[in-house]
Amino acid sequence: MSTFPTRQILLNSRPDGLLKESDLVRTDAVLDEIDDGQIIIRNQYLSLDPAIRDWMSESDSYLPPIPLGHPVWCTVIGEVVKSKSSLYAVGDTVWGMGGWAEYSVAPEDYVFPADMSLGLPVNNHLSVVGAVGMTAYYGLLDVGKPVAGETVLVSTAAGAVGSLVGQIAKIKGCRVVGMAGTQEKCNWLVNDLGFDDVINYRETDDMAAAIAATCPNGVDIFFDNVGGDILDATLLNLAQKARIIFCGRISGLNSDEPIPGPYNMWQILAKSARIEGFLISNYFADFENSVPVMANWVKEGKIKFKEDVVEGLENTPEAFLKLFKGTNKGKLMVKI
């Protein structure tokens, strides 16, 4: 019987604020027996996503809390090395729910094939043609339904999701304004990605005025990854029939206190606007239709993207904090 020794990083306690080393335990394990319907994946890359911080906390979101004593959950991509699933064979490249470890046991329901026939590197299946890229794709196109000439405002615009949202909106003929936290990121958005305007939100005292100045006809679509004050200020600048895609709330993820507001929600009524929660897992079954479209845009040079690849499982917790400090440069992942 084959066995798979693996280093693992377990969740030991629920973080109060930013994740600390004392919230984790580093350990060694050996994976061998699995149940019917499960596979073992040799993780090649771990995806570090802001949502992991949500899963670490006590409250149920769209997933139950990560059990204490369990490897921290994350999306992984890698090779199937053992299978008791009729869907996946040893040698397949798959992505799905694994953990902060070198090898992960995954149930087949949480695993999907990576289409390597597209000719893109395996790591791209965690970024531009992975769940992150498809979040931008479906969030903007299916929920936002952009029309050429409309104004699209994007928060975390220089990040993995946001940078793709802005570029897809440009492909669809929209005017695109991005929000980011450094001048370097703002310059990249305008000079390299073709955004029409930017707001450095960390340097802005009056967000509502900054949005009014950069979106003089109002915001038709707000792709929001942040929530909090940025959402509140945008509510004051909506165009008639605006659509808000509520995709993330990174500004509140490290707070266990209830977050007040948004105070300007009445603007949804005043502008006959719509706000809709977005969850990429609702679209997994449709990826075979969207991933080739995104892959073509990449090959045609219409979509650019950055990946921030940190080497070594041992560096995962420190790397994770980059998401909240704003120091990641593109889709953050760990190479095992």
Ligand X SMILES: NC(=O)c1ccc[n+]([C@@H]2O[C@H](COP(=O)([O-])OP(=O)(O)OC[C@H]3O[C@@H](n4cnc5c(N)ncnc54)[C@H](OP(=O)(O)O)[C@@H]3O)[C@@H](O)[C@H]2O)c1
**3-state secondary structure string, 247-277?**
CCCHHHCCCCCCCCCCCCCHHHHHCCCEEEE
Give the dihedral of Cα atoms 170, 171, 174, 175; nearest 10 deg: 20
Question: What residue type is assigned to position 104 of the chain?
Answer: S
Answer for which of 247, 310, 319, 334 binds ligand X (CB under 6 A) is 247
Q: How far is the CB of 56 from ligand X (least distance, A)?
A: 13
Q: Residue 250: name the closest of 118, 125, 161, 144 by CA.
A: 161
Nearest to 22 by CA among 33, 30, 14: 14
- Matching residue, tokens 């909106």: 169
Interface with ligand X (CB under 6 A), residue total 28
251 part of the interface to ligand X, by CB under 6 A: yes
- The angle, 0 to 180 degrees and rounded to 10, between the axes of the packed helices 228-235 and 207-214 is 50
What minimum distance in Å lies between the beta carbon of 33 and ligand X?
33
Q: Taking CB under 6 A as the rule, does residue 161 contact ligand X? A: yes
Strand 38-47 and strand 103-107: the pairing is: antiparallel
Binding flag, residue 207, ligand X (CB under 6 A): no
Q: Is 53 in the site for ligand X (CB under 6 A)?
A: no
Q: Does 185 bind ligand X (CB under 6 A)?
A: yes
Among 248, 262, 295, 336, binds ligand X (CB under 6 A): 248
Nearest approach, Cβ of residue 62 and ligand X (Å): 8
Site string for ligand X, 308-327 (x = CB under 6 A): ---------------xx-x-
Shortest spacing between CB 233 and ligand X, in angstroms: 12
Measured between its terminal Cα atoms, the distance across the chain in Å is 24
Which of 52, 101, 152, 160 is in the footprint of ligand X by CB under 6 A?
Answer: 160
Least distance between ligand X and beta carbon 18 (Å): 11
Contact flag: residue 292 with ligand X (CB under 6 A): no
Q: How far is the CB of 325 from ligand X (least distance, A)?
A: 7
Burial 259-288 (b: 16+ CB within 10 A, else e): eeebebeebbeebebebeebebeebeeebe
Quick one: which H or E segment has residue 321?
A: helix 316-325
Residue 175 neighbours by CB distance under 10 Å: 20
Q: Which of 284, 298, 265, 246 is nearest to 75 (CA)?
A: 284
Residue with Cβ nearer ligand X (218 or 252): 252
Q: Which segment (214-222, 232-240, 272-280, 289-297) binds ligand X by CB under 6 A?
A: 272-280
DSSP one-letter code for 59: S
Q: Does residue 225 bind ligand X (CB under 6 A)? A: yes
For residue 224, the minimal CB distance to ligand X (Å) is: 8
In the complex with ligand X, the residue whose CB is nearer, 82 or 331, is 331
Our CB check for ligand X shows the closer of 31 and 198 to be: 198
Which of 74, 94, 106, 158 is the binder for ligand X (CB under 6 A)?
Answer: 158
Q: Contact positions toward ligand X, by CB under 6 A? A: 49-51, 132, 135, 156, 158-162, 180-182, 185, 225-226, 247-248, 250-251, 278-280, 323-324, 326, 328
